[in-house]
Amino acid sequence: MDVLWYTLDDFIPLLYCFPDGLVIDSETECWIGARWNLFTFTKETLSESDVTRFAHHARRVRVLNSLTPQKAFDKRPSMDVQLSRMLGGRPRDWNPWRPDHVGSYVDDSCFQILHKFFGHSPALPALRVLCCNHPNLYDMSHLTLFFSPTLRRLVFSENCAHFRFEYVFANLEKSPCRNTLTALQLDDNPTAASANIKLDAYDVVFLASLPRLEWLQLFLDTSIDCNTMCQELPVAPFPSLRCLKLTYHNIKQEDSDPSDGDLALKDFTTLLRHLQPLCPLQHLPITVAGNGDISHASIRAFFAALAAFRPSLVSLGMVIMAPSRAGEPPFGIHDLAPLLELPVKELSLEAIYMDISRADLHVFTAAWPRLNWLHLGQDNADTATLFPLSTLPDIVRTMPYLTQLGLRVHDDGEPLDIDAPVDPALQRISMVDLGSSSLQNRERAALFIARSFPNATSLLYDPHDSRVKAFWWQATDHVRRHIREGMQSDAILASLAGLVVPPPRSRRYVEIVLDDEVEDEVDGIATGVGQVAV
């Protein structure tokens, strides 16, 4: 059997980690380390020794990220923070520098090779995380090569336009990993072309049969009747389900019903009422996107259904990408009364039309004294919730356990103390999200935020202007670097005035590193790092 192959000694680690690695046109310039090389791709027969070497290194691969050829390596996929925490680890990103994390574009020729030499045995016997991001997954039997007995997380992204729930479940049902799977993410591209992808009651019955499933992410659309689904569902519990992440999107492009937004929340409410006695949910992030508006009555009914999870729910995330019904006032603190009864430690109500004051934040502090995350409407440009930027440190001081804060702010004519000493109470903050805030003096705001929250690894600002967003990223990094160097605030502001933001470049990387043990175990195989930018 022939396969596109390349022979480059400097980049042999990638060859050993995955047979087809990076398949590009012949005589293409690629960046290797610190110099340019010219790759020449040739067709060679895959030998038994190649397969033996691959099998040797495959047993060390724990994470496989299958990427699209167009978007491969545009960005490193993030491990979900909630999932990472639930699995007992610290939240961290997918790390290509680790020897057990592999990123590769997997094509049909590679699948055929693996089928030939491995049959129905798992090609990566120690695999724990499989991320599928391939647009042409017609033959789901390919995936059985990666359904190892150790698999814990299975992800299908929105780019997998041709997968079917029933195919995934049929292959999972026959695999030993159905007993080890703890996280399943089934996304879909919310377009009219994907309207034939449905999730019915039988699919949910199968999900309930997975004994260790803790984290489930589903995409639902307006064609799904949750009432009918719940009537057909058995009373069998989800014994281990702790996190249910739901995305509901109106896929109809024309002739949309203005009540589609309300329909989405009503369906969610029906599903939650059915699931409440069956599983002790702890984390519930949901997203509603549609062409119709959403009434406050639907949101209140949804909040009332949430109140039934009072003993267990500790994390609630809600993103509503749909307008509020015309004439209705902003959502106030009294509308959130059902949520105040929940023992939540993480609350994220993004893109919701809200009116929350400083006094209302004291109500949050009294109801949730151990609140870790608070995000309130920072992505809704019309929200009435707007705080002076200078008050963020004081808000954090009133919440002693807070680590993430998302609010919409303004800096209209207010003084910002950019020389204030570092407050130890602010050093626990790891994320500040300003959403779509309108900042008049972005240089001074960047300096104030970076100095006030020195340990924040994420300082987010999304004003829906790519140039301003790019400037913010550059400015905050620039400021933090100079703060560490001991530069005075006036000098930092002066340096920001001349900051030039380069135009964005699309570079794609794949990075592989092998363990030191490789040199000891296999003669002639060098340990090292390969990096390619296309």
Bridge partners of 2, per DSSP, are 45
Count of CB atoms situated within 10 Å of the CB of 99: 20
Res 493: pLDDT: 87
Res 133: pLDDT: 65
Res 527: pLDDT: 30
Contacts of 337 (CB under 8 A, 6+ apart): none
Res 12: pLDDT: 35
Task: Please state, in angstroms and rounded to a whole number, the distance separating the CA atoms of residues 317 and 348.
Answer: 4
Residue 71 per-residue DSSP state: T
Res 396: pLDDT: 93
Task: Please state, in angstroms and rounded to a whole number, the distance separating the CA atoms of residues 139 and 142.
Answer: 6
Tokens standing for 497? 């005035």
| Closest to 471 measured CA to CA, from 431, 443, 507 | 443
CA distances in angstroms from 474 to 90, 390, 457, listed in the order given: 27, 22, 14
Helix segments in 209-312, DSSP class H: 226-232, 260-275, 296-306
Q: Is 392 exposed, middle or buried (0-12, 13-18, 19+ CB in 10 A)?
A: buried
Task: Please state, in angstroms and rounded to a whole number, the distance separating the CA atoms of residues 25 and 336.
Answer: 57
- Collect the ranges in the chain with pLDDT lower than 70: 1-58, 60-61, 65-120, 133-142, 158-165, 187-201, 220-237, 249-264, 290-292, 321-325, 351, 378-384, 413, 500-534
Q: What's the pLDDT tens digit per position in 105-139?
A: 444 555 566 666 666 677 778 888 887 765 555 55
Q: What's the pLDDT tens digit per position in 478-525?
A: 888 888 888 888 888 888 877 766 655 443 333 333 333 333 333 333
Backbone angles phi, psi at 209, to 5 degrees: -85, -10
Task: Please state, in angstroms and rounded to a whole number, the distance separating the CA atoms of residues 253 and 291.
Answer: 9
Res 399: pLDDT: 92
Domains of the chain by residue range: 1-61
Q: Which residues of 422-458 are buried (b: 16+ CB within 10 A; e: fewer)?
A: eeeebeebbbbbbbbbebebbbbbbbbbbbbbeebee
How long a stretch of residues is the chain? Answer: 534
Res 75: pLDDT: 34
Res 44: pLDDT: 45
Dmax over CA atoms of the chain, in Å, equals 74
